[in-house]
Amino acid sequence: MGSPSTATRVTARRRRAAPAPATRYDRRLAEILVHATEVFCKKGYEGASMRDLARASGMSLAGLYYYFESKERLLFLIQKHTFTTIVQGLKARLEGVSDSEERIRIFILNHLEYFLANQAAMKVLSHEAEALKNGFASEVAAIKREYYRICVGLLDKLKSDRGLQFQTRIAVLSLFGMMNWIYTWHNPRVDADAESIAGEMGDVFLRGVMAGGKGRRDGR
Amino acid sequence: MGSPSTATRVTARRRRAAPAPATRYDRRLAEILVHATEVFCKKGYEGASMRDLARASGMSLAGLYYYFESKERLLFLIQKHTFTTIVQGLKARLEGVSDSEERIRIFILNHLEYFLANQAAMKVLSHEAEALKNGFASEVAAIKREYYRICVGLLDKLKSDRGLQFQTRIAVLSLFGMMNWIYTWHNPRVDADAESIAGEMGDVFLRGVMAGGKGRRDGR
DNA sequence: ACTCAGTTCGAACGAACGTTCGAATTATCC
DNA sequence: GGATAATTCGAACGTTCGTTCGAACTGAGT
């Protein structure tokens, strides 16, 4: 048969939505993704060679291509899975909570908990955001846009609930900056856990957007 | 002579601290740095080839090596110059200002103004922070540490002046995150200028750290 | 016109890159 | 245990990588 990877991937795709079983193919694929994430995190997407990835997953160079048709698709799968998971987790946690401040605190906590529990994957997601091209890029961009819009919705709700006045776009992007920058500095031996950092950042950010009421201090 | 670049660089290094004149060598070198910054910004350090850099500066591949002994040193020169300039500018602007809140606003404004006026260089500084190794890395890290410590000093002063209570480390790193993340989203056709964004971020951040007074909302 | 340091370049080096392919190996089912 | 499909691999492909080298060009001083 011509291209083994295409053929096998099609037949292997008949897996249930159920979590545990999964085919051998899917399990091995997930393993490789984990090791590749670690390598991409350490050396960067461009800096990591397929030979590095093969060594990390204890597999031959050619063997990798049974699971992925290209290095770019491998990065794509990592980013898509990571992003999808974090959005799913957020939606589940927001369910049933109506207070708009509490909902933003949940957003921050969910983001930072996932970030610190999956540091390598989140660094690859944040740091290699521009590495994908065309089709791959736009599919990840769509998930990112959904995530961004959820946050905008939460902040706009807070704004109207409490009659606040701030630029939602700047506030949202500042919040993402505060949170995502963590991959450049967090040291588990020095820094507190996600819940504590989320509390601290939530305090600063929420007081910051709420303390003002209406208008800027000097009316500029 | 064996290695022309080493010899010429030594003889050419007799330039004044004066701004304008500079030797031909220094002027050409600066030009190449500008073009290389643009390429590193667009394609990343690993993703940019020496051939890309040669094309961008209208020079032959071999010609570049008259000015730099390696690609890594080229990145180093860009990062060191950018970081040194921003720290210098900050120190000049802080001189004579004593109010601790105003000093932090100056820090934010200086950072964002330089960031948006030199987006490519600042992206290369932020995004390729881990690309350098050993000696190059530690020299840039020293400047970064100085810059970080200045910010810690400013915040600690505010904290003691006003009897506040927050974790300086988290606050500083959150502030850097807010500001540095801008390279991922700022669009000059949509977003306001540096002064306006600095005002907005300054409001959120300063209210955030000042509104609390002492202790966390739930005493955790 | 000649000199000589400063500057640029074409051509090439070996190494490493992403990817392919056919054969070999391993697991699965009758 | 033999047939069939799923999985793995060694070896090689053509390309591009960072870097080097000696020759050629340029411009200022004499």
Domain of B80 in residue numbering reads as: 75-220
Residue B146's contacts (CB-CB under 8 Å, 6 or more residues apart) are B87
User: Does the structure show a pLDDT above 50 at A94?
Assistant: yes
Given this model, what pLDDT does residue B4 score?
A: 41
Q: Exposed, middle or buried: residue B203 (CB in 10 Å: 0-12, 13-18, 19+)?
A: buried
User: Is residue A15 within 8 Å of A23, Cβ to Cβ?
Assistant: yes
What's the start-to-end Cα distance of chain B, in Å? 69
Would you place residue B211 in the very low, low, confident or very high pLDDT band (cuts 50, 70, 90)?
Answer: confident
Given this model, what pLDDT does residue B119 score?
A: 97
Which whole number is the average pLDDT over A61-80? 98
State whether B32 and B96 are in the same domain. Answer: no
User: Does the structure show a pLDDT above 90 at B212?
Assistant: no
Residue B4's nearest CA partner among B91, B62, B71 is B62
Asked which of A69-73, B142-146, B188-192, B211-215 is least confident by mean pLDDT, the reply is B211-215
Residues of B in contact with A203 (CB under 8 A): 166, 208, 212, 216-217
Q: Where are any strands of DSSP class E within A71-169?
A: none
Which whole number is the average pLDDT over B47-72? 97
Would you place residue A214 in the very low, low, confident or very high pLDDT band (cuts 50, 70, 90)?
Answer: low
Instruction: Report the CATH number at residue B55.
Output: 1.10.10.60
The CA distance from A116 to B130, in Å, is 19
State whether A139 and A178 are in the same domain. Answer: yes
**Would you mind telling me the total number of residues written for chain A in this entry?**
220
Q: Is the CB of B206 less than 8 angstroms away from the CB of A208?
A: yes
Of B47, B180, B204, the CB nearest to A205: B204
Which whole number is the average pLDDT over B181-191? 97
State whether B44 and B100 are in the same domain. Answer: no
State whether A211 and A158 are in the same domain. Answer: yes
Instruction: Report the CATH number at residue B85.
Output: 1.10.357.10
Which whole number is the average pLDDT over B36-51? 98
**Would you mind telling me the total number of residues written for chain B in this entry?**
220
Which whole number is the average pLDDT over B162-191? 97
State whether A21 and A103 are in the same domain. Answer: no
Q: Which of residues 97-136 of B touch A (CB under 8 A)?
A: 127, 129-131
Report if residue A198 sits inside a domain. Answer: yes
State whether B108 and B172 are in the same domain. Answer: yes
State whether B64 and B89 are in the same domain. Answer: no
Average pLDDT, chain A: 90
Residue of B nearest to A148 (CA): B185
- Identify the domain boundary among A50, A68, A86: A68
Would you place residue A5 in the very low, low, confident or very high pLDDT band (cuts 50, 70, 90)?
Answer: very low
Q: Residue A36: left (phi > 0), alpha (psi -120 to 50), or beta?
A: alpha
Which whole number is the average pLDDT over B2-11? 38
Average pLDDT, chain B: 90
State whether A41 and A79 are in the same domain. Answer: no
User: Does the structure show a pLDDT above 80 at B13?
Assistant: no
| Phi, psi (degrees; rounded to nearest 5) at A2 | -55, -85
**Whole-number Å distance, CA A135 to C1' D7?**
29
Q: Is B164 on the interface with A (CB under 8 A)?
A: no
Give the number of other Cβ atoms within 10 Å of residue A87's Cβ. 16
State whether A202 and A150 are in the same domain. Answer: yes
Q: Is the CB of B181 less than 8 angstroms away from the CB of A184?
A: no
Would you place residue A21 in the very low, low, confident or very high pLDDT band (cuts 50, 70, 90)?
Answer: low
Which whole number is the average pLDDT over A47-70? 98
Report if residue A79 sits inside a domain. Answer: yes
State percent of chain A over pLDDT 90.
85
Given this model, what pLDDT does residue A211 score?
A: 86
Residues of B in contact with A212 (CB under 8 A): 203, 207
Given this model, what pLDDT does residue B196 score?
A: 97
The CA distance from A47 to A32, in Å, is 18
Return positions of chain C under 7 A from a protein CB.
5-12, 16-23, 27-28
Given this model, what pLDDT does residue A1 score?
A: 35
Q: Where are the alpha helices (DSSP H) in chain B?
A: 4-12, 24-43, 50-56, 61-64, 71-94, 100-117, 119-127, 134-162, 168-180, 194-210
Which whole number is the average pLDDT over B143-158? 98
Would you place residue A213 in the very low, low, confident or very high pLDDT band (cuts 50, 70, 90)?
Answer: low
- The domain tally of chain B equals 2
| Phi, psi (degrees; rounded to nearest 5) at B28 | -65, -40
| Phi, psi (degrees; rounded to nearest 5) at A192 | -70, 180
Report if residue A8 sits inside a domain. Answer: no
Given this model, what pLDDT does residue B5 score?
A: 37
State whether A186 and A218 are in the same domain. Answer: yes
State whether A31 and A111 are in the same domain. Answer: no
Residue B154's nearest CA partner among B202, B104, B112, B201 is B104
Angle CA(B158)–CA(B164)–CA(B165) in degrees, nearest 5?
A: 120
User: Does the structure show a pLDDT above 80 at B141?
Assistant: yes
- To the nearest 10°, report the CA torsion of B134, B140, B146, B149: -70
CA distances from B128 to A41, A93, A182, B192 (A): 13, 35, 16, 26
The CA distance from A154 to A101, in Å, is 8
